[in-house]
Amino acid sequence: MKVHIKKWHAIAQWRWDTGNNDPDDDGEGDVCGICRVPFEGCCPTCKMPGDDCPLIWGECTHVFHMHCLLQWIGTASSKQQCPMDRRPWVTAERKVD
Amino acid sequence: MAANVLAKQVQNKWNNSFARLNRAEPGITGLLAFSEAWRIATDFLYPRDLNDPTPRKEYSMQEVRASFEFLSRAKMLPLLMENFLEDMRKQQHLIERDINEYMAEWEAADTPDFMARLIYRLEKWYKEWSPIPELGSILLSAYTLAFQTHLYSSFPPSFSRGFKQLIASSFSFVNAPCPPWALPPEPHPSLPPGPARQDVFLWSACESLGLLDRYESLIASVCYEYIEAHVMETCAKRWHESMLTCLRGWMTDRVVPWMVMPYARGARSADEARQMLQGVGSRFDYHMCKTLCDLRLQELFDIIIEYPDSMPALQDLKECLSRVDQRNELVKSLRRANRKRLLHPGADTNSIIDQYKNTMNALRFLDPPGVLLYKVADPIRRYLRERPDTIRSIVTYLVGDGEGGEGLGNENENEPIQPLQQRQADDYNDPNWEPEPIDAGPDFRTNKPTDVISTLVSIYDSKDLFVKELQVLLAQRLLAVTDGNYEKERRNIEILKVRFGEAALQVCEVMLRDMTDSRRIDQHIQAQKQMPLHPTIVSRHFWPPLQTSMFNMPGQFKEIQEAYAKEFHLFKPDKKLHWLPHLGTISLDIELQDRTVSAEVPPLEAAIIEHFSTKDTWDVADLATEMKIERAAALKAVLTWVDLGVLKEEDTGLYKLLEVAEEASSSSNPVARQAAMEDTSSVLTVQQQEQEQMKVYWKFIEGMLTNLGSLSLARIQSMLKLAPGYDRTIEQLADFMEAARREGHVTVRDGVWRLQQ
């Protein structure tokens, strides 16, 4: 017997590839350390998630909504530091597998 | 001494009296003449028995008149009258005897003709005894009064019932010749010339007996009853045309001509008659309006069900209400009907909402300020708030899921879409401000939302509930879309945005964008590598919680998924895919040794059959463990394939792949085999036969659709399996349902079947 697939309409969710590779992750997922909204949600100023509200990776391995972090860096008190570990913020090169 | 004076006085009196009677005639000739005159007069006036066969003595009128003249000169007329009335009283028993006789006949026959005869008989008595008009009106009216008094006192209690019957039958004389019994027994002396109506005799007889005045309220009540009966007969349940004009026409044709007789018989001209009829006519018109109003109020619940087809009835009711103040009655009866027929657990929420919607429209029409609506709607709103599925029903209504495309789309063709209205405080600077209607309750507000959807949404304090429900509904629909056509959903969201505001529907907006994005991504990936997989990629957190399960697609499915995920990752390097294996549909070709089976199945079923491609025989329990799913779910999926004739149960829980279709050995379903054999001989009859057999199951299907509202085909199939002897495949069921749809029994929408309302 052979099974031929003619057409397959499937449903999937997208996730940010944050390196957290837990396949059974059905909970709220990781949240942005600044706005406390899940990464797959969007920052408080955005309406559309995903490509319109991307993430930003730091060399320090911390991840934030890009808009959240840029706003933070833009304030004087930030001293251009990562809000999590107070090391100078350096945006990481996107790792490509 | 005293005796002397007395004797003198008596003598004086006697002398005076004698002088008066004798009038200075010589001797007692005067007295003799007087006694002659008295004799003639009393004899002439004496009330005789009509039944006495002896012919009446002829009087020379000259002589009679002279006698009266004489008595009048002697001032003896009062005495004569007294004497006459006394005679009448003595003769009264004659009339009484007649009355009793006729009444007994009437009671035995119970037809109005005896009453008419009685009336004519009494009129004859009255005329017989009546003194000549020359005696002056005083004597005449004294006679009439005395006659009538005697008459009324001799009527038995049943007379009024009989009289009523007679009057009631008089309606039929208006446009038709009278039956012979209603005409006077002997030719009337003063037969009016020309086209005068024949019933005039009966009425004038009644009048001369004073019956019209005495029984005035009875006559009116007969007319009321006549009107009521007509209204009930012609108007009940007729809501599709305006009855009021037709009723008014009937009044003019039938009732007014009748009224002329009892109320305006004496009129000499049409104008005079109109004037005489004005008062009583408007009373009858009022009564007609009131009857119609009462009738319509009783039927109001059903009228509202039929809205807007019953618009003419509402028009009538509105007009009647303006004439007859029955607003309180309306509120009371409609609330009662609603409580009894609508607000109970047996009613479907959708029908309550439909009825509420119609009530709104109907009562807004009757009473634009909305006082009636406010009073009637309050219990409905309170009841709806308690129902768990109200929100879902309203949302379904909003996006137009009802039959016949009713809902948002249709609703908005005739009224502009407007944002949800909120209650506002009174605007004290409004120059057109009007006080609230007098019968408004303390909570009533004139500026309540007036459009249907705003009113429905305002049942709840918050509109967030609606948005949430809307999201769920939208998700269901979008996920069911396979051909990329979701323009209708997009349009609905656009319309709803106007109502609920952009911000509230942001989530839905994201869902719609996910749909377009998925398509774009899919197009890109298909360009890189052709794949049968076309996923919908959703943003979690923006969709309502989706069913998740942890089974893994086996074999080639997994390969395809992984390949797709890889391509996706290449296209969007910072994202990855997380499959929701339970959802979606797969269309497959199962290539077997002797045949190819095509099917469109959920992923679970596809996974199951994939497992059979590695091994011919599986135990359901093993399958369940292998796929990490529950046994029941696995069994259900396996049974789908059994129905399709791909698998077969070897042993309890043990299923085997049928590489070669089993026809001869399928002893389990001889009916199907028989049908298949006949199939080759004549296609049509087999189809008909199958239809016949399916009719048995139709009852089951009808039952489940009635109870559960709407079901998918797979659901119907799995429920029918419980029925004894059911052996159809889902395709056969689909054909049957399709046939039922063509016959108008069911409708299908988005793969969900429901009964045609």
pLDDT tens digits, B152-184: 888 888 888 888 888 888 877 766 666 666 666
Share of chain B above pLDDT 70, in %: 85
Q: Is residue B600 part of a domain?
A: no
Q: What is the DSSP letter of A52?
A: G
Of B516, B539, B571, which one is at a domain's C-terminal end?
A: B571
d(CA A3, CA B612): 10
ipTM score of the complex? 0.89
d(CA B624, CA B608): 9
Contacts 24+ apart (CB under 8 A), B66-70: B66/B37, B67/B36, B67/B37, B67/B38, B67/B40, B67/B41, B68/B37, B68/B41, B68/B134, B68/B135, B70/B33, B70/B34, B70/B37
Q: List the beta bridge partners of residue B587.
A: A7, B600
Return the axis-axis angle of helices B112-129 and B77-109, rounded to nearest 10°.
170
Question: Which of B514, B538, B539 best tests the A interface by mutation, with the highest count of A CBs <10 A?
Answer: B539
pLDDT per residue as tens digits for the range B398-436: 776 543 334 444 444 445 555 665 555 666 777 777 777
The count of domains in chain B is 4
Q: pLDDT-derived band of residue B668, with 50, 70 and 90 as boundaries?
A: very low
Closest CA to B548 of B585, B583, B576, B511: B583
Residue of A nearest to B502 (CA): A47
Q: Is the pLDDT of residue B717 over 50?
A: yes
Average pLDDT value for residue range B586-604: 86
d(CA A27, CA A12): 15
Average pLDDT value for residue range B123-151: 80
Considering the domain architecture, whether residues B33 and B137 belong to the same structural domain is answered as: no
Closest CA to B551 of B479, B604, B601, B600: B604
Q: Is the pLDDT of residue B586 over 70?
A: yes
Q: Is residue B47 part of a domain?
A: yes
- Which chain A residues are Cβ-neighbours of B609 within 8 angstroms? 3
Considering the domain architecture, whether residues B49 and B177 belong to the same structural domain is answered as: yes
d(CA B624, CA B153): 101
- Which chain B residues are Cβ-neighbours of A65 within 8 angstroms? none
Q: Which residues contact B59 (CB under 8 A, 6 or more apart)?
A: B40, B44
Q: Which two tokens stand for residue B619?
A: 């135990």
The shortest CB-CB distance from B584 to any of A6, A10, A48 is to A10
- Which chain B residues are Cβ-neighbours of A26 within 8 angstroms? 548
The shortest CB-CB distance from A5 to any of B509, B535, B588 is to B588
Q: A12 vs B537: CB contact, 8 Å cut-off? A: yes
Top pLDDT among B89 and B547 is at B89
Q: Which residues contact B121 (CB under 8 A, 6 or more apart)?
A: B98, B102
Considering the domain architecture, whether residues B31 and B59 belong to the same structural domain is answered as: no
Q: A5 vs B586: CB contact, 8 Å cut-off? A: yes
Residues found in chain A? 97
d(CA B494, CA B372): 34
Beta carbons of B99 and B156 less than 8 angstroms apart: yes
**CA of B570: how far to CAs of A21, A49, B382, B563, in Å?**
17, 20, 56, 11
Å between B562 CA and nearest CA of chain A:
12
Q: Which residues contact A33 (CB under 8 A, 6 or more apart)?
A: A62, A64, A83, A84
Beta carbons of B173 and B198 less than 8 angstroms apart: yes
Of B539, B571, B603, which one is at a domain's C-terminal end?
A: B571
For chain B, give the mean pLDDT. 79
- Which chain B residues are Cβ-neighbours of A17 within 8 angstroms? 569, 573-576
Share of chain B above pLDDT 90, in %: 1
d(CA B492, CA A34): 36
Q: B506 vs A47: CB contact, 8 Å cut-off? A: yes
The pLDDT, as a whole number, for residue B666 is 45
Closest CA to B546 of B534, B537, B554, B533: B537
The pLDDT, as a whole number, for residue A20 is 64
Q: Which residues contact A32 (CB under 8 A, 6 or more apart)?
A: A38, A39, A43, A63, A64, A65, A68
Considering the domain architecture, whether residues B76 and B218 belong to the same structural domain is answered as: yes
Longest dimension (CA), chain A: 69
The pLDDT, as a whole number, for residue B4 is 87
Q: B576 vs A47: CB contact, 8 Å cut-off? A: no
Q: Is residue B273 part of a domain?
A: no
Residue of A nearest to B611 (CA): A3
Average pLDDT value for residue range B268-291: 84
Å between A70 CA and nearest CA of chain B:
19
Q: Which fold has domain A1-16+28-92?
A: Herpes Virus-1 (3.30.40)
Q: pLDDT-derived band of residue B550, with 50, 70 and 90 as boundaries?
A: confident
Q: Is residue B18 part of a domain?
A: yes
Q: Is residue B660 part of a domain?
A: no
Considering the domain architecture, whether residues B9 and B98 belong to the same structural domain is answered as: no
- Whether chain B has a CB inside 8 Å of the CB on A30: the answer is no
Q: pLDDT-derived band of residue B684, with 50, 70 and 90 as boundaries?
A: very low
d(CA B495, CA B508): 12
Q: Is the pLDDT of residue B641 over 80?
A: yes
pLDDT per residue as tens digits for the range B30-46: 777 778 878 887 777 77
Secondary structure class of B408 (helix, strand, coil):
helix
Contacts 24+ apart (CB under 8 A), B174-180: B174/B199, B174/B254, B174/B257, B174/B258, B175/B253, B175/B254, B175/B257, B178/B202, B179/B113
- Which chain A residues are Cβ-neighbours of B588 within 8 angstroms? 3-6
- Which chain B residues are Cβ-neighbours of A7 within 8 angstroms? 482, 532, 534, 586-587
d(CA A27, CA B281): 81
Q: List the beta bridge partners of residue A13.
A: B538, B578
d(CA A66, CA B619): 52
- Which chain B residues are Cβ-neighbours of A2 within 8 angstroms? 590-591, 613
Q: B573 vs A96: CB contact, 8 Å cut-off? A: yes
Considering the domain architecture, whether residues B24 and B62 belong to the same structural domain is answered as: no
Out of B426-435, B480-489, B515-524, B615-624, least confident range: B426-435
d(CA B685, CA B634): 38
The shortest CB-CB distance from A8 to any of B533, B574, B576 is to B533
HEC string of B458-484? CCCCCCHHHHHHHHHHHHHHHHHCCCC
**CA of B308: how far to CAs of B348, B394, B452, in Å?**
21, 20, 15
Ranges of residues in chain A whose predicted pLDDT is under 50: 96-97
Tally Cβ neighbours within 10 Å of residue B232: 13
Q: Which residues contact B301 (CB under 8 A, 6 or more apart)?
A: B334, B337, B338, B341, B342
Out of B239-248, B442-451, B462-471, B699-708, least confident range: B442-451
- Which chain A residues are Cβ-neighbours of B561 within 8 angstroms? 10
- Which chain A residues are Cβ-neighbours of B537 within 8 angstroms? 12-14
Considering the domain architecture, whether residues B93 and B116 belong to the same structural domain is answered as: yes
Going along B157-295, which residue ranges are E strands? none
Q: Is residue B312 part of a domain?
A: no
Q: pLDDT-derived band of residue B685, with 50, 70 and 90 as boundaries?
A: very low
Q: Is residue B48 part of a domain?
A: yes
Domain boundaries along the sequence of chain A: 1-16+28-92
Considering the domain architecture, whether residues B10 and B145 belong to the same structural domain is answered as: no
- Whether chain B has a CB inside 8 Å of the CB on A54: the answer is yes
Q: Is the peptide bond before B345 cis (omega within 30 degrees of 0)?
A: no
Strand order in the sheet with B710-712: B710-712, B752-755, B746-749
- Whole domain around residue B35: which residue ranges? 2-41
Beta carbons of B628 and B551 less than 8 angstroms apart: yes
Q: B609 vs A3: CB contact, 8 Å cut-off? A: yes
Q: Which two tokens stand for residue B244?
A: 């009021």
Question: Cβ-count burial of B742 within 10 angstroms (0-12 exposed, 13-18 middle, 19+ buried)?
Answer: exposed
Q: A13 vs B657: CB contact, 8 Å cut-off? A: no
The pLDDT, as a whole number, for residue B692 is 66
Residue type, position B452, single letter: V
Going along chain A, which residue ranges are E strands? 2-16, 55-57, 63-65
The pLDDT, as a whole number, for residue A68 is 92
The shortest CB-CB distance from A11 to any of B550, B569, B580 is to B580
Residue type, position B614, single letter: T
β-strands B536-538, A2-16: how paired?
parallel
The shortest CB-CB distance from A4 to any of B536, B591, B612 is to B591
Q: B586 vs A40: CB contact, 8 Å cut-off? A: no
Burial call B420-455: b when 16+ CB within 10 Å, e when fewer: bbeeeeeeeeeeeeeeebeebeeebeeebbebbbbb
